[in-house]
Amino acid sequence: MDNIEQRLGLVSHWIGFITGITFAIGIIHGGYLSVMHIYSITGDIRAVYVFQLLLLAIAAFLLPLLLGWLIRYTLSGKVKILPFQN
């Protein structure tokens, strides 16, 4: 029974990690397209928009990762934050 809990925890941790990477890449890609569209119209890049985009991408990466880690921590006990660390 204990082995099944550890495996489920590891799978949920990896799913959270991959989901976070996917969300962050999607936000960065969409933001890049928006920045290039705004740059082509106005001729300048707004640093505040780029900074907010990066903060959103970091949050979009960390939230699923931490949720997956929390599930794994609950099922398996003390584990590190990244799923590929033992």
Tens of pLDDT along 26-63?
999 998 888 877 766 667 777 778 888 999 999 999 99
pLDDT above 70: percentage of residues in the chain = 92
Quote the pTM value.
0.83
Buried b (16+ CB within 10 A) or exposed e, 22-44: ebbeebbeebeeeeeeeeeeeee
